[in-house]
Every structure is written in C-alpha cells, then in structure tokens.
Chains A and B, each alone.
Chain A
Amino acid sequence: MSNPVSALQGASFDGFAKVEEAGLCGMITLRGDLASAKVKKAVVNATGTEMPGQREVKVAGENALAWMSPDELLALVPYGEVTDKIAAIDKALAGQHYLAVNVSDARAVFRVSGTGVREVIAKLSPVDLSADAFTPGMIRRTRMAQVPAAFWIGEDGSATVICFRSVAEYVFNLLKGAAAPGSEVGLLG
C-alpha cells in the first residue's frame, strides 16, 4: 500500500438510488473577505469556476467552488493538485488576511444517483429538496441525521454529499438505509 486511500475505498450500494463513495477529492477551506477582488480572483483561478453567491456552488468539470458561510468557501479540485493550488492561492494573497488550508483528507464524498436522489436526502436532512426549491447550483451545509454534511444536486440529477471522514461509514449506512428498495416516498420523483 503506497497510495492515499479514501475512508471506504469506493464502497457502493444499489437501492432505489445508487450510493457510491466517490473516492478522494481535493478540498481547500478558504476563509477571507469574500467581497475582496483579490480573494475572488485567487479562488476562481484555483478552481476555474465562477464565484458562488450565498448558498451556491459553481461547478466546472471536476472542480467546484462552494459558499460555506459569509467568510468561508470550499474549493474542490483534483486530489493531486491541492498542494499546488494552495501554493498558488498563498502567492496570490500574500500580505492579505486569509486562511487557505487543505482539508481533503478530513472528508468523505458520496455520489447518490438515480431517480430517487432527492427522496434519499430528504429522509436525512431538514432541507426542502423539491425540484423547484432546491435547484442545481445550490448547496446546503446542514446535517444528515446526527452529523454535519453538505450537499448539492448537479444538472444530471445526481447528488454530491460531503461529510467528515471519521463518520464516512455512518453516513454510508444512512444513505444505504434511506435508499432501501421499497422505501420510495413517491413525492420528489
């Protein structure tokens, strides 16, 4: 073994929706003045996405940039590129007050796909997941049952769920249970 491994090493489950651990994903927590042009430029350069507004996520290929709080962003980039991206941000923001830190290994990422994605998540998170209320481009930083989680639903209808690495197994079990065959609610399609 000489490579980084994700918490569940790609575990998956087929229920009325499919749940897969998505493997390692590069993540950078950036805290700073989100109104600052320099900060915006530095993160947008790092991800190649647009700058997200409140409760938004901007996705471009494998990369994404998510709004996490009024002074916090989460940048998602390929796992192998994190160190370089942080170095670039550090360079661009030298002299500014900000914090850019690698949190790739602190997280687990799940992909939920299939027709019942919204129902799977609505069983676990207190969020309005109806298609007209939670549209692609939105992100919620909330909870799943008893642990913190963040998620968004992409244009293809699949959901990306991020949680802490230590509870990867718990969250996988939650998603598995929520996607159990026969437990479709029939509300969110």
Chain B
Amino acid sequence: MSTRLATGGRLLNKDRAYQFTFNGKRLSGYEGDTLASALLANDQMLIGRSFKYHRPRGVVASGAEEPNGIVGLGEGAKFEPNQRVTTTELFDGLTCASQNHWPSLEFDVGAINTKLSRFLPAGFYYKTFISPRPFWKHVYEPIIRKSAGLGKAPKDRDQDTYEHFYAFFDVVVIGGGVAGLQAALAAGQAGAKVLLMEQTAHWGGRAVVDCHGVNEGEENVNGTPVDKFVDEIVAELEKLDNVTMRTRMMGAGVYDHGYLIGYERVTDHQPELDGPRHRLWRIRAGQIVTATGAIERPLSFAGNDIPGVLLASAIRDYAVNYGVSVGDRTVVVTNNDDAYRTAITLKSLGLDVPVILDARVLPEDSALMAQAKALGIRVMMGHGVAAVKGGKRVTGVEVCSQAGEGAVLETIDCDAVAMSGGWSPVVHLWSHCGGKLLWNNDFAMFQPDVDNPPRGADGEGFVIPAGSANGALDLSGILADADAAGKAAAKATGHKPGKGKAPSVQGITEAPMAAVWLMPQGAGVKKRMKAWLDYQNDVKVSDVQLAAREGFESVEHAKRYTTLGMATDQGKLSNINGLAILSDALNQPIPQTGTTTFRPPYTPISLSAIAGEARDERFQPIRKTPIHAWHEENGAFFEPVGQWRRPYCYHKPGESNHDAVKREINQTRESLGLLDASTLGKIIVKGPDAGKFLDMLYTNMMSTLKPGRCRYGLMCNENGFLMDDGVVARIDEDTFLCHTTTGGAESIHGHMEEWLQTEWWDWKVYTANVTEQYAQIAVVGPKARKTLEKLTDADISADALPFMAWADITIGDGIPARAYRISFSGELSYEIAVPASRGREFWDLLLAVGAEDGITPYGTEGLHVMRAEKGFIMIGDETDGTVIPQDLNMQWAISKKKDDYLGKRAQERSHMADPNRWKLVGLETVDGSVLPDGAYCVGEGTNENGQKNVQGRVTSTYYSPTLDKGIAMGLVHNGPDRMGEVIDFPKVDGAVVKAKIVDPIFYDKDGEKQNV
C-alpha cells in the first residue's frame, strides 16, 4: 500500500495539515503536497478509469506528463474537469472527484469493455459505425460520446477572474531546473533583461531529487550538494535587478518572432486570495532558452497500466519530495542506470526493493549498479517483466528473460513497480515554431537539431535549448550546456557575456542505456494487447502494429487512426514508444518515421485564461451614443448595429414590438418623430483635390456641389458593387462632410485612406473621421420646422433652408449646431448635429418643446419601414455585395460626365451590363400579408439539381402602418418591365404567397411631403 513515511518530504510543511475530499471521502495532507502525493499518502492508488476500456488507473508520473491522474476539481462555479493531480497543489478544503466511471470508481460497468478489448481494436469505431451514414450523427456518435470521454463540462458560470499581461524581455528562460537557473544567471550577469519561469512552485527541478541520498558526496556542484547549489544560485539571481523570476508559470507556446505565451497559475494554490486565478503572459522575447528538462519513458510490458506501476523517477520524487512511499516492496525494471537511483533512494529510506530487473547485459557493473548491489539489492541483468499481476493495484510481477517470449521464470510479490525506459528531452517548445530534431542513437531519443532552430525575421535562430532539453543527460553536461545557452542568448540580444565558467560538477559515469521498445522482446499478441503505450486514450502496442498492417504508415495517420497521443496529455509518455513500435512494424529506422507535430500549448491551459478580461461587461465593446442612457430609461428594445446598440423601438407599457413600431411611424408621419442618428458615419474630406477625390469615390458628381448644399451619393468598390451610400455636404470650397452608413464609418474611412495612401498619394486631400464628435438627431414630421423654430432664432424656412441644404444654427442657450435638411423618411426632416457632449441636452430640449405635438422618438425599425415606404434602398438589405447601382435602377446617381470612378470599368463588364440581371421592384401581396424576408420567387421548370428555377428574391419586407398592408422590395428578373404581373413566393411551409410587381415607391412618389 502507498503511505506517508515517518520522515522526509523536503517540500512539505508538516506543521500545516490540509483537509480535502476525493469522491466525498475525507482525507488529509500537508502544505506542499500535490494532490497526487496527498492521495498516495492516503493509499488512494486508484484515481480514475481509462477512456475506452474503463480500466482502473492510478498515477504513473509526478509532473506535467501525467496521463492517468486526472480529476474533476472543485464544485459549482469552481468546477473544472480534467485536472492533473500531479500538477495540482493541495490546499485546505480542496474537493475533487474521479472521472469516467459508472456507477462508481471501485465498481465500473464500462470495465466490461476491457474483456471485449479483442473486439475493440484501433479503428474499431471507424469500421463499425461507418454505415448507414446518417446513423453516425444521430445514433452512434451521441452514444459513443457518452460512454467514452473524460471530464464533464462545467455547468455553472466560472466565478474567478482572469487576465492577460504584455511583457517584453531580452531573454526568456523556460524551466527553473538547474539548467534554467544556470542559463538565467549567465544571461543575467551579461546584463540582459531576463525572465525565468518555472511551471512548479519550486526551483531546482529534479536534479535535487536525483542526487538525494545517492552516492552521497560524489555528485555535487562546486563542491556543495545539489540542493545547496540551487539555494545559492536562486539567491544570486534574486540579487540581479534585471532578472525576473516567476514560479507557477509555464511556457505554454512559442510563436513567430519570439512571441511566447506564459501561463501563470496565480491563485490556484490559494483560492481564497483576491486576484486573478490565471494570468496569460503575452511575451516578446529577443531569445528564448528552453530549459524544459526531460521526461522519463515507460516500458511496454503486459500490465504496465495497473495502479502501482509508476515511472521510476516519479517513485523517487514522491519519496524524497513528499515523504510518500508508493509501495513497501518496489520492483525496479529498467533499461538504463538512472532507475538504480530509485532503488538506492528507496533502500536508503528503509523500504524494500526485492529486485532490479535490468533488460541490459553489461560486461561490468557501473557505479550505480555497484552501489545498489552493495546495499544488498538483487540485480537481474538481461531480465524483464513478463506481466504485472494485480487488478486495481499491483500484487506482483512475473519475471522473464528480455530476449525471449515471456516464459515466466519467477514470480515476485511486490506492491509497486518502478519502470524506466530511458529519457526523452522535452522538445515541445523548441519545436512549436519549427525547430528541427535529431535522433540520438546512444540514448534512443530525439533532441533539438541546434543547426536548425526556429528562425526569426533576420534568419537567425531565436530559440536555444539548454540542459537535458538539449539532450545533455548528466549533471556536468547539463550545467555546461545551460551556461553556454544563457551566454549565447545574451550575446544574441546585444549583451556581452562574462568569461566565467560553468559550475564544476563532480558526477558519476553511467553505463550506456539500451533501447527497449517491447518487453520481453518477443512478447506474443496476448502480452502486446496488455502493453499500454497511451494510457489516457487506451492505445496498446497491438493497436499501433495493427495500424501499420492496415497501411497507416505515416506517423500522422497512425496517430489519428489509433488516437495515440491525442488525449489531454498529448502523448508526453507515449509518443516515442509509439513511434518506435510503428517503426519496428514498418521495418524502418525511427528517424525515418519521424515524430508527430508538437503544437502549443505544452499542457492544456484554461480557456478562461485565453479569454482574459473579455467576459461579462468586458466581453466586447458596446458603443453608446450620448443619448443611450435616455434610450435605456425609456423602454428601448435594442438591436446590435455593428458594435453600437440602437433602439429598434421604444415600448410603452403593454406594447409589442409591432405595436410600438406602428405607433412611432404613425405619429411621425402625422406630427413629429425623433431619431437618434448619432451612429451615422461622418468623415471630413479636405484639400484642393477633395472634389476630384470624391468624384472618384462616389458614382455621381460631387465636385459640382455648392457649399451649403447636400447631395446623396453611392459608393462602389473597384469590382463595381455597391458598398455604401449617404449624403455629402459641402462645407466650403475645400471641405466636404461625407455621411456613411453606421456600419461603414470605419471601413469607408479606411477605404479613403487606402486610396489616398497607396494610389493617389500625390493628391492633396486629408480625411478625418469625426463620427463621434457629434450627436446627430433627426427631427422628422410635419411639425418638425415648427418645433425647431422654438429652439433657434435662425431662419430655417423653406426659402432660407430648402430641401438638401444645410446651415449652421444655434440651439437653445448656445448649443452650436449644423442643420441638414435631408430626409430618409419622406417627411419634412432636419438632421441636426450638435457636439456629443451636448447631445443629451439637445434631445431633452426637443422632447420638452415637442411635447405639445406629441413628439415621438422612433427606432431603427421605424426608420426602415419609412424608408421602404419611400422606396429608398438600404445598404445591406437591397445590397449584399453582389448588387450594382444599375440593379437598383439608380442610373440617375451615376454620372455619365466623369471619365472614371471606382467601379466604373467593372460595371461595364458583360455580366454587369447583362439585361438579365435581377432588378429592383416593389412587391405588394395580393392578400395584403407581409412577404417572408429573403423569400425567393419561383419560375418555370427546374435546374440541373432538380430544384425549382428562381427568378427573384425579397430584399426588404415590412408591414406598412401608413398603408396598412405588407410592402416589400425585391430583385426580380426583368422586374421593371413586368409591372402588374403577379409572381409566386413559396413559403417554408409549402404555401405560396402571391405578390404583384409594383413601383417601389409606395408613399408620396412626388416628394411633396418632404419638400415643404
């Protein structure tokens, strides 16, 4: 059984006990524990069930690479699924629950799948559920998703906060082990601005554990033990002002141009604190040093997934760091010297190591072997594990010869197995942005190809690997490599590294490892079906071999077919073992098979951290006009228009939208309406060439406009399609004010600047977007002039300010205003622009003086209906990016006098000039009903797909309160020539609406109402 030892636990504060629960069971641990060490201290070996076969699983590692130990952490608004117990720091009151089990962790019905595993090989789902096709989406997938799958999605809103932080450094060192510390020191001493980040809460990495109690006095740095060396170098770094050190911060991803994401877990370990839970650092680094260490590989033998089988390094981590013994009797199985450290460590703590099974056959004992033997540990060279015995926990191992097929030579009782298949450098961050890899045959591992680093804009590398992440696996090599990396990074960022040497290391020489990809070498199919590669996704040696046999020869294909490495751990343990098996099956060397692609993030990061501040009221900017608060207080039903919220209509008590719109329109047409038009784009265009410029931008002539007058214009893109419209006012000889649509304000300003800056850079024109400078309010209706006259002394009579003119006037007690006599409703109408900071004041004045005429604010729907009654087009309704002015019968707005304007040539192309293009008409339903928006008009016959031919479509459709019937506009084939014809618009329910083709101007065709 796993338990807490009486002594040890260098990271624990045993004065501070923490209570926590697992599946409701109350357990206790200490400050400094990870959730994994605390669970093991309470003999909780079984932590979850596997993805596919629901096999019992316990922790296998002690760090970020853990595939099995994942739980649902927290409850309610704190709940988060798939949290690795090995990287979760224990805190008082932590609650967690195992995942993927039913009805309980101890007794799981899904475990029947493991008995059926013969029938659930790789590709099983693809092969079985492929037909009938529609069943996948509606039957198979929902069922499979339910039975397979890990954590549950949270149900409650996340109660925590998250943020981003932008930071800039010369050198960023990822990893706070001895390599990272040394690299940071070397770069820092050279004067570089350095950030050193470590994903755990502690500096020093695993070197401290590795040297703990092993060869005492023989492995040291600068003559001091490794833990002391770490304390000293940390103290030295803390003294450097130019070095920033952050723990609990992981290098998540490396991107182009030295861009780097750091994921800082700020309060995960102390959830009671204020402040963000996670902070996403968005870093620009001159050079990135990846001192990311190495990960130990499992060995592939039957039963290597039974709880109690752990990586050898993890077993000694738990013992040294947390004072936890995973078992009283631990069998060590290895292909290298490093695992001997585990045996020696355990033995020195008084625990039993019945045997070390070493797959190698070596001519003589190495130093570590000799030390193990001296401690009385039995070593069996050339041997391995035939199978692990046990179900929910290990009870023993069957020993066999590595060279054979697994005949059992001996059975040894034990309650833990420490396995080591060698080490793989963590090359993820090196590879994210294109760093290449080399195969190192001596250590059977991929390591960075330092001649092919990720390169920046200058063609030089911007990532430097350091230490074991660069393939240096001995302490002396690690520190020398890291020192060189730090100096190189400093130099590359313009600093002068000192001549100081790397710390001197007294190390021990290890015997060469031997590549072992399957144990025993000749294991039969039954064993291979129990030899797990990917624990989390339940991929076995036999699955990868099957994939190879079925032709999935590319490593990327084999990965997807088998799902190897596709779980939340992204194959940190399984990757190399899997592709070694694949290479063997394909009978090709490992480098030829290659690796799958390493993509960020290194381990999963919270989605909330990616979102940062962008949630709730900061989710996205909501633009508000100066009158927005009034709208809110007066029953506005808002609709989004770009990032603005505009009132669609204003509800009086008990009104529906329909009622409100009808009331607003009737009151405006009969007496007086008011519209907040502040969102309309307003762009100043000034300069001697302004007229020439606008002649190019608009289809009609603007240069002939007289100061004091307004003209409606159409704007097309260079492909001839209509993109914006609006009224242009000429302010003076040199200056125009262009009104754009609400949505077009920024894009049309950008469009203008693009032409001015890239094509017509020698034209003397300046533009400025002054949209938000003004609150613009439309005063509309027969009583509009009378109302305004109450607020101004200026002469705004029909003679002084005729239709399509503008004048500067003063409102009330000195509000400067510009009145544009323009109309989008067909009524007598003034659009008055006042400074935004006086917009609300002006609005309130209008409400006060207009009260006697029943002044009625109206919303965008009223605006839309009134313009449709007048047959005015709306960009985005009548246009959709494929419509040209000619389609809308707007030839009157296209100047024939001009040599050119944007879109002119495009509009002359054959398809644009084709008389068969659909053209704008009015549509009036025979029964007075409202046509469905977007409805198509069907014609004779069918097309090549067997669909009915269409001959037109509805672009705008409304109930007109003015006419008390449905009105619509649409684009219809030969429409203008077919006045009076009745055409068919089928509805979704199959019924057909009959509509007559009519003139699109339904109301006041001669414009008598607006021109008074």
Task: Please report A residues at the B interface, Cβ cutoff 8 Å.
Answer: 1-7, 24, 29, 31-32, 71, 97-99, 101-107, 119, 122-130, 133, 145-147, 164-170, 173-174, 177-178, 180-185, 187
Contacts and interface: CB of A to CB of B under 8 A. Distances in A.
A36 to B, nearest CB: 13
Given A1-B840, A1-B841, A6-B837, A185 B764 contact: no
| Chain A, interface SS category | loop
B201 to A, nearest CB: 16
A173 B617 contact: yes
Contact of A97 (B764, B767, B844): B764
A166 B613 contact: no
Interface string B133-161: 00000000000000000000000000001
B367 to A, nearest CB: 45
Contacts of B163: 123, 177-178, 183
A178 B276 CA distance: 10
6 contacts: A99-B766, A101-B770, A103-B770, A169-B622, A174-B618, A183-B161
Contact of B166 (A106, A125, A174): A125
Contact of A166 (B284, B644, B686, B766): B644
Contacts of A119: 165
Contacts of A71: 766
Contacts of A180: 161, 274-275
Contact of A105 (B612, B764, B835): B835
Nearest to A133: B168
A2 B813 contact: yes
A7 B428 CA distance: 49
Given A99-B686, A99-B768, A165-B772, A4 B274 contact: no
A126 B168 CA distance: 9
Nearest to B746: A148
B274 A183 contact: yes
A145 B772 contact: no
Interface stretch (B100-108, B297-305, B382-390, B623-631): B623-631
B838 interface: yes
Nearest to A31: B766
Interface string B597-618: 0000000000000001110011
B273 interface: yes
| Chain B, interface SS category | mixed
A102 B166 contact: no
Interface of B: 161, 163-168, 193, 244, 273-276, 279, 282, 284, 612-614, 617-618, 620-626, 643-644, 684, 686-688, 764, 766-768, 770-774, 812-813, 835-838, 840-841, 844
B621 A146 contact: yes
A43 B464 CA distance: 50
A165 B838 CA distance: 13
B613 A124 contact: yes
Nearest to A97: B764
Given A32-B766, A123-B165, A180-B161, A167 B623 contact: yes
A122 B688 CA distance: 42
B124 to A, nearest CB: 45
A2 B688 contact: no
A166 B623 contact: yes
Contacts of A177: 161, 163, 613, 618
Contacts of A101: 684, 768, 770, 773
B837 A97 contact: no
Contact of A183 (B276, B282, B768, B774): B276
Contact of A29 (B168, B612, B621, B768): B768
A170 B622 contact: yes
Contacts of B622: 167, 169-170
A106 B684 CA distance: 14
Given A122-B166, A124-B613, A105 B276 contact: no
Contacts of B774: 105
A144 to B, nearest CB: 10
Given A97-B764, A123-B165, A105 B836 contact: yes
Nearest to B684: A101
